[in-house]
Structure 1
Amino acid sequence: MEKTVTIIGAAALPVGKWQSAPTAAVQVLEHEVLARLVLQATADAGIDKSEVQGMTFAQPRPYTAQKYFATFMAHYLRLPCAGNISEVLGNGMTGGFAFEHAANDILLGRSKVSLALGVNFETAITAREHMMSSMRAVGDVDFQAPFGITPIAWYAMDATRYIHDHGSSREELATVAVKNRGHAALNPLAQFRKPITLDDVLSQPMIVEPLGLYEVPPRSDGAVCLVLAEEEVARSSGRPYVRVRSRGFYHEGAHQISEVPNDMTALEAAQVAGRQAYDRAGISPADVDLAEIYAPCTIVEVLAAEALGLTPRGMGARYAAEGRTSLGGDIPICTSGGLTSRGHPAYITPLYSFVEVFEQLRGTAGERQVHAAELALTSAELGNYNAALVHILEGVH
């Protein structure tokens, strides 16, 4: 367990609408898209595909044509592995768990090089089918699902409570969407890159009050491959790489919304997981140079930033309004554009966060590069942050 895990290569599909309609004459196939990314990521890492000893996939959406996807991909890539071939599933944390499992293969000595990868296609599915599946997945089938409680409804309740408790406003929360779109405009992987104003955000149709169209995530397709390696492999490459400094995880024992009264805007799981990660890395939140937060809505970014100690409690929205969480600010958050603008291919969204941090800490983020970035934080969550997974990563040049 003394081994150290690093990220040495990455490749990602620009987030957008890639899934073919069932009636389309030409089909975009998930396995073909992901196979190309494996070749690009290993080339980026400076290794041959044959050096890969394990692959952990984020389980694809149920709409994916090919089942038993992991073992099929091993065959399609002609890639025998002695370490691990598997798929993992964990709601919005699925991509984070894929990263964890690939890292654990290295920590346990089962492989020197492992891939964390996945594909998420969902945009050609009917809204009815997608929503029915989502409600059965994220809610209590005896109570919440029959009454149509959706994730956006939870977040809207959080936003209303936050505004009441902290003297905030919808306008202040909406600045998070403007900030993220500004970051996305600089990111070639982002789904929405056209800059927007605060007036643009406030004029959109309401989805669940007080959250409008630009304050909630789109449906998105995407694919990512990350190359993880033991640090001796990373050092031998002679290239900049990213070291996984620590991780934290906590599940509060609640599924999405608990019937046990609690502080609905505190995000206890994020607080606990964040403290674990900071303590294990030997740092404080003030040492973090940037953060990629899993935040489906504007309010979630605000609450998670506060729970992780990146902004003071009750001040997250104000920090965004003042530009303090923008590029060039005190603590740049979601430099990729976040889930509202970079896009939200749900099962692999955490993998896109690792791609962004990898580019930032390697110094290859282009116009959105955070100056002298050395330490970064990523987070992933299980619905309304009833569970949180936090990683601290550092660049090595």
Structure 2
Amino acid sequence: MLSTSVVIVAASAIPVGKIQTGPLDDYQVVEHEVLSRVVTAAVNEAGIDKSSIDSLVFSEPHIYTQQRYFSTFMTSYLGLQCRGAVMEVMGNGMTGGFAFEQAADQIRLGRAKVALALGVNMETATSAAQHMNMSMRATGDIDFHSPAGFTPISWYAMDATRYMHEHGATRADLASVAVKNRLHASLNPLAHFRKPITVEDVLNSRPVVEPLSLLDVPPRDDGAVCLVLAEEEYARTLGKPFVRIRGRGSYHEGIHQVGDRPYDMIAFNSAARAAQAAYQDAGISAADIDLAELYAPCTIVEILVSEAVGLTKRGDGARAAAARETALGGRIPINTSGGCQSRGHPARLTPLYNALELFEQLTQRAGARQVADARLGLMSCELGNYNAALIHVLERGQ
């Protein structure tokens, strides 16, 4: 059963943005009601009856979600009875990727014919101070990072400074990534920010951590998404376009965010190792990839990941972005959804939104942002500063 081919047959999501309500607001947005509408839309798109759903793998909701033990509550709310797993998974930025992987594994192991990878993320009505305190304790070393106020954006700012020093990239080169992603987002109805921007807008935006400014970094976002995965043999009976999981790879380099021993901080070794494993699993090379959805909270991260996974050459990612090689119509379009800066970044769901974008692209339903003749797409996610990476290669179904 481990050789079973797994495909995505449907996907649905709400637009990324500010959805969460505060405790004193007259009108309350309830997480399970938002997610149930998304699930219904995805299941209806797949053309299946809910009795066919055997497993549900949830991206664990943020700690701000009021309903605890969310997965079993949600299963009851949807009226589902499952012979496979009903569970929540969590792994910082990899959370949505783990949900996707575990849902696929339910099918590969023969425990499900249809599995949902789904989740809801609510955080925007939570105060910035509360969220940052939680983030530093969750992602940093509490003996060093947290007391020093070393935030996640600080890691990426260090990466940017080092990259600019080693490879001669400029702030304008980094800003071109944000400009490109905003152009893509202007064509995506699910994107948070859709008004085009210029390099000057990025350079003149409020500083966050030198050399990164406000438009280099992601907003805090809410979202809800559901992917319907199925055995390929069963999916063919539905008569719907589908996208096959062609390969996967993962690697953890034993570092917690920023290492305490000498290493190349801008090589993103885990992404390179995971990508090579995914390419080998898929029987392809980086040159075969038609587009990519990269988990890249900041502009510099997109540049570094594109180099690590072989879509651009080492030290050339910033130049490639500035030359529009990674834009729609370019040699290798990256983050056609708009990426974390403009599509938005509901962190625990970002990998699932990335999978949704590749599903739309590879089934030729991406509209004005469609990549012509797209056949193979790559998506990535990470734990933090790419100390670990999970890579999937998706393929247009025949």
- Give your verdict on TM over 0.5: yes
Match of 1:351 in 2: 352
CA distance in structure 1 between the aligned counterparts of 2:113 and 2:385, rounded to whole angstroms: 35
CA distance in structure 2 between the aligned counterparts of 1:220 and 1:50, rounded to whole angstroms: 33
Q: CA deviation at 1:77?
A: 0.5
* Contact 1:184-1:336 at 8 Å conserved across structures: yes
What count of residue pairs does the alignment treat as equivalent?
A: 397
The one-character-per-residue Cα deviations of 1:44-100 (angstroms, maximum 9, x if unpaired) are 111112211100000000000100000000110010111010000000000000001
Structure 2 residue 38 is the aligned partner of structure 1 residue 37: yes
3-state DSSP of counterpart to 2:93: coil
The one-character-per-residue Cα deviations of 1:306-347 (angstroms, maximum 9, x if unpaired) are 000000000001001001000000000000000000000011
Match of 2:191 in 1: 190
Alignment of 1:284-363 (within 5 A): 284-363=285-364
Structure 2 residue 235 is the aligned partner of structure 1 residue 234: yes
* Contact 1:302-1:316 at 8 Å conserved across structures: yes
**Amino acid in structure 2 at the alignment position of 1:294:** Y
Q: CA deviation at 1:238?
A: 1.3
Match of 1:114 in 2: 115
Q: CA deviation at 1:22?
A: 1.1
* Contact 1:267-1:386 at 8 Å conserved across structures: yes
Q: CA deviation at 1:156?
A: 0.2
CA RMSD of aligned residues (A): 0.5
The one-character-per-residue Cα deviations of 1:332-375 (angstroms, maximum 9, x if unpaired) are 00000000000000111100000000000000000000000000
3-state DSSP of counterpart to 1:192: coil
3-state DSSP of counterpart to 2:382: strand
* Contact 1:42-1:48 at 8 Å conserved across structures: yes
Alignment of 1:147-186 (within 5 A): 147-186=148-187
CA distance in structure 2 between the aligned counterparts of 1:334 and 1:14, rounded to whole angstroms: 16
Alignment of 1:1-397 (within 5 A): 1-397=2-398
CA distance in structure 2 between the aligned counterparts of 1:136 and 1:104, rounded to whole angstroms: 31
CA distance in structure 1 between the aligned counterparts of 2:312 and 2:44, rounded to whole angstroms: 38
* Contact 1:292-1:378 at 8 Å conserved across structures: yes
The one-character-per-residue Cα deviations of 1:200-224 (angstroms, maximum 9, x if unpaired) are 1111010000000000000000010
Q: CA deviation at 1:233?
A: 1.4
TM-score (normalizing by structure 2): 0.99
**Amino acid in structure 2 at the alignment position of 1:239:** K
Q: CA deviation at 1:272?
A: 0.3
CA distance in structure 2 between the aligned counterparts of 1:224 and 1:233, rounded to whole angstroms: 23
Q: CA deviation at 1:126?
A: 0.5
CA distance in structure 2 between the aligned counterparts of 1:380 and 1:233, rounded to whole angstroms: 28
TM-score (normalizing by structure 1): 0.99
Q: CA deviation at 1:231?
A: 0.4
CA distance in structure 1 between the aligned counterparts of 2:235 and 2:55, rounded to whole angstroms: 16
Query: Deviating runs (4+, > 4 A) in structure 1?
Result: none
Q: Percent identity?
A: 62
Gap regions ≥5 residues in structure 1: none
**Amino acid in structure 1 at the alignment position of 2:340:** L
3-state DSSP of counterpart to 1:347: helix
3-state DSSP of counterpart to 2:188: coil
**Amino acid in structure 1 at the alignment position of 2:141:** D
* Contact 1:155-1:299 at 8 Å conserved across structures: yes
* Contact 1:11-1:225 at 8 Å conserved across structures: yes
CA distance in structure 2 between the aligned counterparts of 1:20 and 1:384, rounded to whole angstroms: 30
CA distance in structure 1 between the aligned counterparts of 2:273 and 2:397, rounded to whole angstroms: 27
**Amino acid in structure 2 at the alignment position of 1:381:** E
CA distance in structure 1 between the aligned counterparts of 2:55 and 2:43, rounded to whole angstroms: 13
The one-character-per-residue Cα deviations of 1:4-62 (angstroms, maximum 9, x if unpaired) are 11000100010000001110111000000000111100111111122111000000000
CA distance in structure 2 between the aligned counterparts of 1:77 and 1:235, rounded to whole angstroms: 26
* Contact 1:379-1:389 at 8 Å conserved across structures: yes
Gap regions ≥5 residues in structure 2: none
* Contact 1:39-1:49 at 8 Å conserved across structures: no
CA distance in structure 2 between the aligned counterparts of 1:88 and 1:188, rounded to whole angstroms: 28
CA distance in structure 2 between the aligned counterparts of 1:100 and 1:279, rounded to whole angstroms: 18
CA distance in structure 2 between the aligned counterparts of 1:337 and 1:46, rounded to whole angstroms: 29
